[in-house]
Amino acid sequence: MAARNVGSRLLGLSAFFFSIPTVFSTPTLDNGKLLSVNGIDYYSGGDAVSTFITSANFNSTQFEDVVPITVIRTDQSVFTKEVLSEIISNYSATDDVFQSGFLETVFLRYEGHGRSQVDSTVKQAFKDLGNSLVMASSAYRPEAHLMPAKLRRDLPKGPYFYSPKTGELYQAFRLYSDHQLAFTEAALSDGAGGFTSLPAAVSVSKSSVAVPSRLYYTPTSEKPLAGLRVGIKDIFDLKGLRTSGGNRAYYDLYPPRNTTGPALQRLIDAGAVVVGKMGTVQFANGDNPTADWVDFHCPFNPRGDGYQAPGGSSSGPGAGMASYDWLDIAIGSDTGGSMRSPGGMQGLFANRPSTGAVNLDNVIPLCHALDTAGVFARNAATWSKVMHAWYENFTDYTEYPKKLFYQNSSFPSADTPAGALIEDLVRKVEKFLGTKRELVNITSHWEKTQSPEIPAISSLLNTTYAILTSVDQYRSLSVPFYADYAEKHDGRRPFINPGPLARWTWGQNNGGNVAYDEAIQNKTIFKNWWETKGYGKADERTCSEGIYIYPYTKGETQYRNAYFSAPTAPPMGFSDGRIAVLAGVPDLVVPVGEIPYNSTVSLKTEYMPVTMSFVAARGCDLMVVNLIEDMEKAGILKPVSTGPRMYPE
């Protein structure tokens, strides 16, 4: 029942942690308002989205300053009790913002042809729902219990907040607590192409994120992502907000950004709704939880016992997606595994795209030659939809390769729990593609096909990634940041987490700019080989000659409370995960299953994710995601849940 419980609280910033006035008498909502409806916290936008025109004898003094309202749009020519109850169950099923408390006041908007009428049974039905005012558009036949009203600007259906005194309507946002510390800052559109941080928190210890009603949005061909709630790794600039890069000094030093970068702008233009900035390993480089996370606390991975590392560097986007049903997708970056590692540790769909998939201006760089931006999702259908809308210039292949490249030494033995899950998936992929795996050995294939003066792949590429990232970020971020900071702080140096600091230092001590140029050459040698003689050849019909698969995570634990030695250098060596990085090709991680472990935290059996990677030729991102989406449709891959288990029993 709609027991009425609307407490209005002023949200002036100064008022907000202290005593909270219970009465708010100014009709305009300068900063918006924090409200509670049936014990659930909401935020009402500060800018009115429309205004009611009501009859002159409407007596607003019987209402509080702000009341919940539902705009119901229907084309039923007779509005019956049954129609009402079906609409309520439809709204409840599709939207987590709407609830019965919003039926306190209602506006019926007829969108069919001709005129409509409200059946006499509806009056009592509304009363039973706690309703005290039904307004109706002029297409409804007048009735004593209906107040004629008109919206100055038409609105989509859904829950809103209404000020009877002024007639103004405000959007309704539900406030969710960020209990996993996945976000760095909640964001709201400022209505003028930029963003503001949300001036609201439900508790002092945890901040909140505000999400708008899903009922406001209907996807169209121009806006295929309409209403999709997205969180953004805090290395991407959003107009109106500061960018932290996971560093407090950096956040404080630079003003709010005056531009939203082109990659995010494409998502926003496609209809995605940005709800906040999310946690990142400092400067998307390398921090191990939790000792290295000095400036910000490491987001929490909900899988297993809840005390496993979330993976990095896109830790916040990964943790948020694995934790919160109310978040639809999250955007991160991948230079050396920063999408795939959180995807693997948290059992999500997570991709590293081909380099150049989207323009990365206005994004904090780790290495310009290697940086990419990817999407986290909990199901392949959403993942695919976002990639199709977001990435530029890729061709949409729907015929799949017949070659499945399989390096035996990469895979765990099929008689281990993780190995068995992966082997089962590989067999299903073989069947789906109508092929058998082709056993490959990259090292020996390299020796056979590479010119003799080129050394073994493990020596050519051992330090390539380490040099490229440590030298580029030192030049493009550290040098200007130190200078800007010193200028403002009397020559002082800003605090840098141990991870990035050790890596920058290592790069300068191991060849600096000279080594960088050599690393670019080595990378180019590998890329050319991969595309012409390796396993990344293009194909006219199927985009890629084949698909190279390898296991990503095998259900390993990585406890947050483990001690480890201090960071000294970037990661070295060549492995499967480096193929996409150095060849610029797509690498898509998908959830496979989960395996049990005995938790030293909970002292119970818990489960960690097993995931597998699909790698294809450069530019074949959409082919691979189409394949993965088709395998989800066929039941071979399954959407994952939020929380401790990907696949709760």
Ligand X SMILES: *[C@@H]1O[C@H](CO)[C@@H](O)[C@H](O)[C@H]1NC(C)=O
**The binder of ligand X chosen from 77, 409, 532, 568 (CB under 6 A):** 409
- Check residue 62 for interaction with ligand X (CB under 6 A): yes
What is the distance between the alpha carbons of residues 571 and 464, in angstroms, rounded to a whole number?
A: 10
Which helix (H) or strand (E) is 320 found in, with range? Answer: helix 315-323
What is the distance between the alpha carbons of residues 317 and 255, in angstroms, rounded to a whole number?
A: 24
Nearest distance from C-beta of residue 392 to ligand X, angstroms = 4
- Check residue 356 for interaction with ligand X (CB under 6 A): yes
Lookup result for tokens 């989509």: 156
- Check residue 435 for interaction with ligand X (CB under 6 A): no
Judged by CB under 6 A, the stretch of 11-19, 398-406, 462-470, 531-539 that binds ligand X is: 462-470
**Would you say 86 or 325 has its CB closer to ligand X?**
86
**Would you say 22 or 61 has its CB closer to ligand X?**
61
**CB count, 10 Å around CB of 511?**
16
**The binder of ligand X chosen from 455, 488, 561, 648 (CB under 6 A):** 455
Count of residues in contact with ligand X, rule CB under 6 A: 38
User: If you ran DSSP here, which 8-state letter would residue 205 be given?
Assistant: S
**Would you say 572 or 634 has its CB closer to ligand X?**
572
**The binder of ligand X chosen from 5, 28, 77, 90 (CB under 6 A):** 90
- Check residue 519 for interaction with ligand X (CB under 6 A): yes
**Would you say 175 or 549 has its CB closer to ligand X?**
549
Nearest distance from C-beta of residue 217 to ligand X, angstroms = 15
**Would you say 443 or 513 has its CB closer to ligand X?**
443
- Check residue 463 for interaction with ligand X (CB under 6 A): yes
Judged by CB under 6 A, the stretch of 57-65, 136-144, 230-238, 381-389 that binds ligand X is: 57-65
- Check residue 515 for interaction with ligand X (CB under 6 A): yes
Residue whose Cβ sits closest to ligand X: 444
Judged by CB under 6 A, the stretch of 4-12, 54-62, 178-186, 426-434 that binds ligand X is: 54-62
- Check residue 359 for interaction with ligand X (CB under 6 A): yes
Mapping DSSP to helix (H, G, I), strand (E, B) and coil, where does residue 35 land?
Answer: strand
What is the distance between the alpha carbons of residues 596 and 609, in angstroms, rounded to a whole number?
A: 9
Which helix (H) or strand (E) is 40 found in, with range? Answer: strand 40-44
Judged by CB under 6 A, the stretch of 205-213, 442-450, 532-540, 585-593 that binds ligand X is: 442-450
- Check residue 467 for interaction with ligand X (CB under 6 A): yes
**The binder of ligand X chosen from 441, 449, 568, 602 (CB under 6 A):** 441
- Check residue 483 for interaction with ligand X (CB under 6 A): no
Judged by CB under 6 A, the stretch of 80-88, 183-191, 266-274, 300-308 that binds ligand X is: 80-88
Judged by CB under 6 A, the stretch of 3-11, 33-41, 285-293, 407-415 that binds ligand X is: 407-415
Answer for the pair 44, 159: CB distance below 8 angstroms, yes or no: no
What is the distance between the alpha carbons of residues 322 and 348, in angstroms, rounded to a whole number?
A: 7
User: Pick from 385, 362, 390: which is nearest to 374 by CA?
Assistant: 390
Which helix (H) or strand (E) is 510 found in, with range? Answer: none
Answer for the pair 80, 126: CB distance below 8 angstroms, yes or no: no
**CB count, 10 Å around CB of 133?**
22
- Nearest 5°: the CA angle 139, 144, 146 is 45
- Check residue 392 for interaction with ligand X (CB under 6 A): yes
Mapping DSSP to helix (H, G, I), strand (E, B) and coil, where does residue 134 land?
Answer: strand
Which neighbouring-strand residues pair with 615?
A: 548, 587
What is the distance between the alpha carbons of residues 413 and 19, in angstroms, rounded to a whole number?
A: 61
- Check residue 125 for interaction with ligand X (CB under 6 A): no
Structure tokens at 170: 């405000």
Longest pairwise C-alpha distance within the chain: 93
**Would you say 255 or 635 has its CB closer to ligand X?**
255
**Would you say 321 or 608 has its CB closer to ligand X?**
608
Judged by CB under 6 A, the stretch of 1-9, 84-92, 209-217, 489-497 that binds ligand X is: 84-92
What is the distance between the alpha carbons of residues 631 and 588, in angstroms, rounded to a whole number?
A: 14
Residue 156 class from Cβ within 10 Å (0-12 exposed, 13-18 middle, 19+ buried)? middle
- Check residue 596 for interaction with ligand X (CB under 6 A): yes
- What is the crossing angle of helices 464-473 and 576-583, to 10°? 50
**CB count, 10 Å around CB of 284?**
31
**Would you say 327 or 373 has its CB closer to ligand X?**
373
Nearest distance from C-beta of residue 319 to ligand X, angstroms = 24
Residue 568 class from Cβ within 10 Å (0-12 exposed, 13-18 middle, 19+ buried)? exposed
- Check residue 55 for interaction with ligand X (CB under 6 A): no
**The binder of ligand X chosen from 572, 602, 604, 634 (CB under 6 A):** 572
Lookup result for tokens 């946002």: 173
DSSP string, 434-469: T--EEE--HHHHHHHHS-TTS--HHHHSTTHHHHHH
Answer for the pair 583, 457: CB distance below 8 angstroms, yes or no: no
Judged by CB under 6 A, the stretch of 122-130, 320-328, 342-350, 436-444 that binds ligand X is: 436-444
- Check residue 358 for interaction with ligand X (CB under 6 A): yes
**Would you say 170 or 391 has its CB closer to ligand X?**
391
Nearest distance from C-beta of residue 408 to ligand X, angstroms = 4
Which neighbouring-strand residues pair with 36?
A: 7, 41
**The binder of ligand X chosen from 518, 531, 556, 630 (CB under 6 A):** 518
Sequence-distant (6+) residues with CB within 8 A of 424 are none
Binding site for ligand X (CB under 6 A): 59, 61-62, 83, 86-87, 90, 258, 356, 358-359, 392-393, 408-409, 413, 439, 441, 443-444, 447, 455, 458-460, 462-464, 467, 515, 518-519, 522, 572, 596-598, 605
